[in-house]
Chains A and B, each alone.
Chain A
Amino acid sequence: MEEKLIAVVAAALDVPASSLTLDSRLGDVEAWDSLAQINIVSEIESAFGAEIPIEEIGSIETVRDFLRWLGERA
């Protein structure tokens, strides 16, 4: 799941997967701005068949946060 998640985030940001880690963060990665964050959420929802509640999205800032959310859900 971790590998797939990084691939999905990388595709959403249009950066190589190798440039991302679990600790990559909104604001630190150049392409990852608040607009890109929305696209990451949409791509993850589509790739994992999930619906991330709007209340949760504000507290998700790193790839690890997404992974944790997906893990709790599973």
Chain B
Amino acid sequence: MKFALLSNVNVDSLARRVAGHEGYVPEGFGAWTRELADPAAPLWAFAPAVVFVLVDGRELLRGRDEPGAAESEVDAQLGWIEGAAARAPGTKFLVSSLDVPPLGPRTLRHPFLERRVEERWRAGLAALATRCANVYVLDTKELVEEHGRAAFYSSKRWYLGALRWSLDGEKLLARELVRVLGALSAAPKKCLVLDLDNTLWGGIVGEDGVAGLRLAETGEGARYKDFQRRILRLKELGVVLAIVSKNNPDDAFEVFDTHPQMVLRRGDFAAHRINWTPKPQNLRDLAADLDLGLDSFVFVDDNPVEREAVRSELPEVTVPEFPSDTTRLPEFLDALHREHFFALESTDEDRQRTASYLANAQRAAARTSAGSIEEFLAGLATRITLGPAREDDVARVAQLTQKTNQFNLTTRRYTEQEIDAFRRADPRSVLVASVADKYGDNGKVCVLIVRRTGAHAAELDTFLMSCRVMGRYIEDQILGHVVETLRAAGVTALRVTFAPTKKNAPARSFVERLDGGRVVAETPEGGRTWEFDIAAASPVTRPPYAELVAGDA
């Protein structure tokens, strides 16, 4: 993209840093106003798409350090810009704000010339940008404020070569110019896809309940509320919001509908996929529903495994790293905006965009299609360690039976004493599994209690797993292994019970994919017990993919 760089200081070095675009800098850095005013100047022959005007405050005041002269110079410069903008309506003029450091020693009753000049420029430029559709404010003073004048300016570079900015300041400005040119030459992202638990709020609604979530106006939970506020601002700029979350829809919507601190409402999202389907598949479905390309999606999730799944299966989706320090969530959102969603302006149409996509999505039917989940799982290097619970596992096992709601077949709550009694009666009855993958160790996340009910019969009293590792078919492989062990011990019949609760839909989808069971009992609440003949066949049909290490009693 062709750009011109006009300034009252030396910007040759800055222009060299704006890589990937064709730049023009007038000869002699005092010449910028003349070039603007003269239709025959080389600037216009160059025909830039964008003209950056970077005005240095100290240079503007050189020789004009009293209010009358300074303010009339401000008016004159803005006037030249306005004249040029009117003559070249197809060219965008990005004009800097003005930063005027102290001109010298002064008292506390000084006339505040620097501030008056800054303010005159700010107000004049704001009015200009309102009058002229092709004039924009490039708020370079904000950059100076972010980094501090001491870091942004350099006296040495000034006296050596009329380079006003320090190396860092110049690089920051260059990045800003590249960002603007990039936003003008490529379409920004359109849709921000958000996870819920530990992303929009702290905690896991399926485990902690609505009241247990960290989300508040002040204090610790405020980081999530502030994050949500900024997301709402992004939506108001025309970014489409969507949700992809592994959750029970009822739990998730309960937060939206009842949590008093929620900033984002259901209606702020154009579409959602709240289910236990792998996220890449959900993203494909969202793209189809919203009729958006996957390359216009930015996917934000606190879970590195989910991010990796999306990166590996859908490389066209942008997947930023999630801040490890969640107090930085507000800044994280600002960075997302700068890097992926930045646009020079937003229209009424942009602001209404979510509503129109919401309508599209409601018309579109939900779809599912085959994904390459197997490849993704194979790439995780998952390692399952399964063995009988030892004495020092008892507390953790009891805690998991108390707390786990989602992947839990029977939701039987046990105390430490009860767990200990089970394992004393039969050391192989209480099994615990830990799961590690290339991102780290998830610790002990899965518990099975298998009761022997006869010489050749057993029942699965408890099978639960933490939500940290759900959606990866680890449960299939673990049960498959347990079945083999039981068969080797002479068991031919295994009973599996599913007792539905409001929260355990993930367990339901697991029992529904077991193969060959005969229903032997049913409850009015929808509970079922199946008996599987495991002498020759396994109820588990998915092939194992993880490395499984079985410990001994």
Which chain A residues have a beta carbon within 8 Å of chain B's beta carbons? Answer: 34-35, 38-39, 41-43, 46, 54, 57
Query: Is B160 within 8 A of A57, CB to CB?
Result: yes
> Which residue of chain B has its CB nearest to the CB of A52?
B156
Find residues 150-207 in chain B having any chain A CB closer than 8 Å to their own CB.
Answer: 154, 156-157, 159-161, 163, 166-168
Interface membership of chain B positions 1-27, coded 1 if the CB is closer than 8 angstroms to chain A and 0 otherwise: 000000000101100100000000000
The answer to whether B167 touches A54, judged by C-beta atoms less than 8 angstroms apart, is no
A38 contacts B161, C-beta separation under 8 Å: yes
Apart from A42-B156, A42-B166, A46-B167: 5 A-B pairs, beta carbons within 8 A: A35-B161, A38-B160, A41-B156, A54-B159, A54-B160
Prevailing SS type, chain B contact patch? helix
- Most A C-beta atoms less than 10 A away, residue of B13, B156, B161: B156
Residue count of chain B within 8 Å CB distance of chain A: 14
Decide if B12 touches A54 in the complex (CB within 8 Å): no
Residues of chain A lying within 8 A (CB to CB) of residue B167: 39, 42-43, 46
Task: Decide if B159 touches A34 in the complex (CB within 8 Å).
Answer: no
Q: Secondary structure at chain A's binding surface: helix, strand, loop or mixed? A: helix
**Bound CA span A34–B156, Å:** 14
Interface CB pairs A-B, < 8 A, 14: A34-B161, A35-B12, A35-B13, A35-B161, A35-B163, A38-B13, A38-B157, A38-B160, A38-B163, A41-B160, A42-B156, A46-B168, A54-B159, A54-B160
- Please, which residues of chain B bring their CB within 8 A of the CB of A34? 161
In the assembled complex, the Cα of A61 lies from the Cα of B547 at a distance in Å of 62
Specify the chain A residue showing the minimal Cβ separation from B10.
A35
Question: Which residues in B have their C-beta under 8 angstroms from that of A54?
Answer: 156, 159-160
Q: Output the least CB separation between B347 and chain A (Å).
A: 39
Q: Which 9 A-B pairs have the closest CB atoms?
A: A42-B167, A38-B161, A38-B160, A35-B13, A35-B12, A38-B157, A46-B167, A39-B13, A38-B163
B168: chain A residues within 8 A (beta carbon): 46
Nearest Cβ distance between residue A30 and chain B, in whole angstroms?
13
Output the least CB separation between A34 and chain B (Å).
Answer: 7
Output the nearest chain A residue to B155 by Cβ-Cβ distance.
Answer: A54
CB distance from A63 to the nearest CB of B (A): 19
In the complex, what residues of A have CB within 8 A of residue B12's CB? 35
Question: What's the minimum C-beta distance from B334 to chain A, rounded to whole angstroms?
Answer: 26
For residue A53, which residue of chain B has the nearest CB?
B156
Min distance, Cβ B476 to any Cβ of chain A, angstroms? 52
Indicate whether A42 sits within 8 Å of B159 (C-beta atoms), given known contacts A35-B12, A35-B13.
no
